Amino acid sequence: MALLPILRFPDPRLKKVAAPVAKIDDSIRRLVADMAETMYEAPGIGLAATQVDVHKRVVVIDISEEKNQLRAFVNPVIEQCVGAQLGEEGCLSVPGIYDKVERAEQVKVRYLDLDGKEQVLEADGLLAVCIQHEIDHLDGKVFVDHLSQLKQSRIKSKLAKQARVTA
């Protein structure tokens, strides 16, 4: 396993739309393992392949306190959204920035597991938010894209300043 570098907003590679995975093989399983290690180390609760500059439709999520319930989603598609909730979100690609985003309260997602079997999951609460957030990444969106232009430019300025300070 290996730690992967996480792209930082506003890196243009975060805008790329990920391609579907044609075949689940050892390279995809290795990608999932590397993404999981990277997510846990960061630390975070979700990571999309797009964030590590791999433009394939792969997501890892673990919302458990113990960090022992890793879920991998290959080619996830949200089939149904119910309700709405407003919650504060952050992102490993937008470090130190948090803001309120409206998401569906419940989602039904269809995806492939690491054995290539089709699965359907109905999720609510934090898991539903996380699934929507990570699928946004696969579609070339970052959570700040849901915010006003003013907030987006403030976030870009703040991150640019952080980068200058740490450089």
Kindly give, in sequence order, each residue whose CB lies less than 8 Å from that of residue 110, ignoring residues fewer than 6 positions away.
Answer: 76, 77, 79, 118, 119, 120
| Cis? peptide before 10, omega within 30° of 0 | yes
What the block records as the tokens of 12 is 């243009």
- In this structure, what DSSP letter does residue 49 have? G
Answer yes or no: 134 catalytic: yes
Q: Give the phi and the psi of residue 100 in degrees, each rounded to 5.
A: -85, 135
Place of tokens 């979700």: 46
Distances (CA, A) of 24 to 33, 49, 55, 112, 158: 13, 14, 15, 9, 39
Q: Which residues are catalytic?
A: 134
